[in-house]
Structure formats: C-alpha cells, structure tokens
Amino acid sequence: MKVFFSGTHRERPPHDTLTAITPLLPEFGVTRLADVTGLDVLGVPVVMSVRPLARTLSVSQGKGATLDLARISAAMEAIELDHAERSVPPAELHDVPADQLVLPYPVLALEQHAGSLLTEGTPLDWITARRIGDDREVLVPRQAVRMGRDLRDGWRSYTLTASSNGLASGNTRPEAVVHALYEVIERDATSDLGSVPVRERHYVDPATVDEPYCAELIDRIRSAGAWLEIVHAPSRFGVPAFACYLWHEDAAAAMVVGSGAHGDAAVALSRAITEAAQSRLTFIAGTRDDIVASTYLPPDGFARPATPVQARPWAPAVYGTTASYATCAEEAAALAAAVAAHTGHEPMAVDLADRAEFAVVKVLCPGLTYAARHEIPRHEEVTAA
C-alpha cells in the first residue's frame, strides 16, 4: 500500500527508506553522499553519490522535492548501477541465436548500439526474466541487462546495448517495477521531442501550476532569476509526460532539460523540474567528463530565451490525465498492460535484488523508443547542452 505522495509515490516514508539503506551503502561501494544544492542559486535539492570503483559512472546524482528525497535518489541510483554491473545472474544458455529459441518478442526490438550488427542468428547469452503482466518466465539476452566496461580477451561486436533506461529500484519489487516502467515510458514519449520545432510544441504556463510542491519548486527557480519552460509530451500510453527547459544568465551558453512521466501529472512535472535542476548541478560541479566545452562559454551574445507560443494553463492541460492506484502492484499491472497493448509485447523484468530494504529490477520493453543519451534539444536562441 502506498503511504507517501509528495513529489513521488512510495510504499515507505522517505525517512524510513533513508534509515534502512544508509548503513548498506559501503556494501555497494558508495563512499559519500554529498549535498551539492548550495553550489547553485536555485535551491532545488540535489545530492551526489560517489562510488570510486564503479564500472560505469563513479558519480551519480539524485534529485527531489526535499533533501531527503534527493539523498534517497542519489543513493538508490548508485545501488542500481552497482547491481547492473555486479549482480546480473550468470548466463543459463551460452552462444545461442534467437532464431533457435521460442521467444514471445523479436530480439531486434530490444535496445541496440548505433550501427548494430545484430541479427536473429547472432549468438547470445541468455538469462531469465519474468513478464510483468502474467509473471511467466521468459529468456532475455544477458547483454541487454549487464552494464559496465571490462577488459576482455576476445573480440566483441556491437549489437545489443544495456543502458540505465528501465533500471530502477524501490522499497519493494512492485515499486521498483513501477519506477522502471515510468522511466521507459518517459523516454519513449520524449525521444522524438527534440525533432519537433519549438513553435509546434505544447506548452504549460509555469505561473498557473497550483500543485503545492511543484509550485514551490517553480517559485524557487523563478525567484533566483531563472527562466523555466514546461513542454507537455503526451505519451501513446496515456501517461502524463513533461520536459522542462531551464536557463539562467550565470551560464547563458547552457540550456538544460529534464523530463518525467507518471500517472499523477504533478509527480511527472516534479520529476522534470528537479531533473533539469540536477542537470545544472552536473556542469556546475563538473561531475561528468562528457560535458561539452561550449557549456562554459562566456555569456556575451546569449539572450534570455522566450516561449515562442502562448502556453496553456496547468489545469486544462492535464485535465483527465491523472490515474490513481492504491498499490504499486496494481499500478505495475496497468502500465504493463498499456505497453503491451501498444507494442504487442509484454514488458519483462529481471530481478537484480529483492531484499527487505530494497529491490532492484531491469525492465525490458521491446518496441519502445529510447534516443541515445536521452538528449532533448531546443535549438533556439541559446545553445542546448
């Protein structure tokens, strides 16, 4: 049963979650949770987790409407990545092509590297997942789940790729599955948004948002002199999804973006706003090596952006879109059914951890779209970062 609904839906109060997972962080290589909120002028809570021996990112960031939620987000992201690197089950079948198996989905519909050479006859290693709708076991390629870069003796071709899309955690397994499904739905809904001209997008007026925790976040951002743009990105699954663009004159060459999707439109918007603020902290703190140099250009020549068309008020923009579920299990079943109805393939979940303190899953949804690195550019007046 859900018990917490402010900015997110959870089956355990945030303080209890933080109390449960904090003593476990060294087990997953996390040496520090650092509150970096004060490095920015916005005041939106962002926390950084440090994992020096990571096989992927050694620094993860978390965000939230409160500092406790940001701490949980950062800690759980590090725990998720550690499990995707080190806790994927060993292969049950080795070097078997998909065309020699009876699968309820086409392997070519899974996420692949650009220029992938994957065919139905490519030898792959296989592990067991469970379909979310009916809990039936199904084989999935291990390469689509395990993350990390290691030295290898043999040659490896670029075929399937494992990303953090659909990798999620929660207080319980159903909660983790819900978080994963919302993430893959969000990425599907916003993957093509970057190609939509800014004048053809659907905007929401930030000043009309009356959900208390969203309104508070917006007020913090606008009080700091920043510009915020909310774009409604309707998903094919009927789930509210938003992208938020954020700009401040102190880093005029950088426009950051965040996105979110959730059955509760206010939660979806909160995720998009806080992710945009988290993106600003990424280049302010310099926590990634792939930040482009143009992000740090001097402000000369960059004008304050403006929404090119009139934005709709919040209430009519989201009217009739919010869905409510008493439990995460009920929510997961409804989301899985919606995905299956539109793609023709049942979503599948690989269990990476299911213990008293938390659960971690990797959800695979054949037929969903995920743009590389999840960039959502807005090519107007400033350089998108």
pLDDT along the chain (385 residues), means of 10: 81 94 97 97 96 93 94 97 97 97 96 89 97 97 90 72 95 97 96 90 96 96 97 91 96 93 95 96 87 84 91 91 89 97 97 97 95 73 41
SS3 content of the chain, % helix, strand, coil (to 5): 35, 20, 45
Instruction: Please state, in angstroms and rounded to a whole number, the distance separating the CA atoms of residues 326 and 301.
Output: 51
> Token digits for 301?
């020549």
Helices (H), the chain: 14-21, 67-86, 173-190, 212-223, 265-285, 314-318, 328-343
**pLDDT of res. 155:** 67
Note the maximum CA span of the chain: 60
Q: Model-level pTM?
A: 0.94
**pLDDT of res. 85:** 97
Instruction: Please state, in angstroms and rounded to a whole number, the distance separating the CA atoms of residues 153 and 295.
Output: 38
Cα 357 to the chain's mean position, in Å? 21
How many CB atoms are closer than 10 A to CB 156?
Answer: 7
**pLDDT of res. 127:** 98
Burial zone of 18 (CB within 10 Å; 0-12 exposed, 13-18 middle, 19+ buried): middle
**pLDDT of res. 273:** 97
Q: What is the DSSP letter of 112?
A: B
Q: What is the DSSP letter of 323?
A: -
Q: Which residues does residue 46 pair with via DSSP β-bridges, in sequence order?
A: 63
Specify the length of the chain in residues. Answer: 385
Q: What is the DSSP letter of 130?
A: E
- The answer to whether residues 161 and 111 touch, using CB atoms and an 8 Å cutoff, is yes
> Token digits for 291?
């930040």
- The answer to whether residues 46 and 281 touch, using CB atoms and an 8 Å cutoff, is yes
> Token digits for 197?
């001209």
> Token digits for 178?
């819900």
